[in-house]
Amino acid sequence: MRYALLAAALLAAAPLAGRAQTIPPSSYHRALPVVPIDSVTHQIVYRGVLPAAGLPQAEVYGRAQEWVARQFEDYSAVVQLADAGRGVLIGQAMLQAVAPAQKNQDARRIELVFRFRLRAQPGALHYELTDISYPLYSGTSYSNTDIPGHAADGLAQWQRADDYSRISTTAAQTRRAPVEPRLRDYDEYTSEGKPKPRMLQVCLGIQDAMTGLVASLNQELRQPLP
């Protein structure tokens, strides 16, 4: 009798196990359109190797430094680690991406904070752009939403007018919210599991901004020696 009950329990559990395998992935693992996703962290990551043919490591490192200094308003505020011996630059910066128009969505600007790691070697530069986030400002949520807010939001926006250059570095970078949880929210998908236009718009803006930075860095490395 005991064995019969055990067999019945196993048979009853089998359909449940089958159903468990068909459960859709959690929001943490949900796919995002356009942008590259790291298979381990499930976060948006841009990484690769840019050629710098014929350049010694010191020259590659120097050009990476020059690129950072030209791209960002304050080199000392952006760079958190500069190790010339190892050819490594690590830092954090802010940029303003343009999310292109989509169905029922006008084009809009989005502020993004990101971290970068550049490692020079003879003839090449390794790059990583990670931790893409929305900057969070004290007392306002304007930075990551275009929904009209209270009067305080408007005042905060006016006070932060200088922050809205193409790329800026401010104290606000210390407060940030990763973009992935919001982009993977259930409200950002249709009932068929497809991304809604607003979410696709943000992903396209991120892709354009990040690949634009990489293209600019690549152009710096291709400049001929003086």
Q: Please give the residue that has the higher pLDDT: either 11 or 115.
A: 115
- Residues of the chain with pLDDT > 70, as a percent, come to 70
pTM tops 0.75, yes or no? no
- Residue 53 sits in a domain whose CATH number is 3.30.530.80
Higher pLDDT, 210 or 101: 210
Which residues are within 8 A (CB) of 214 and not within 5 positions of it... i.e. 6 or more apart? 46, 48, 50, 127, 129
| Domain presence at residue 67 | yes
Residue 186's domain comprises: 29-222
Residue 7, domain member (yes or no): no
Give the Å distances, CA to CA, from 56 to 1, 59, 222: 79, 5, 13
Does 20 map to a domain?
Answer: no
pLDDT tens, position by position, 59-95: 999 999 999 999 988 899 999 999 999 999 999 999 9
Work out how many domains the chain is built from and give that number.
1
12 inside domain = no
Q: Where are the alpha helices (DSSP H) in 21-160?
A: 57-71, 75-78, 151-159
On whether residue 143 sits in a domain, the answer given is yes
Locate 175 and state its tokens.
């407060």
Asked if residue 101 is part of any domain, the answer here is yes
Once rounded to an integer, what is the mean pLDDT over residues 120-144? Answer: 80
- Give a yes or no: residue 117 inside a domain: yes
pLDDT at residue 226, rounded to an integer: 79
Give a yes or no: residue 116 inside a domain: yes
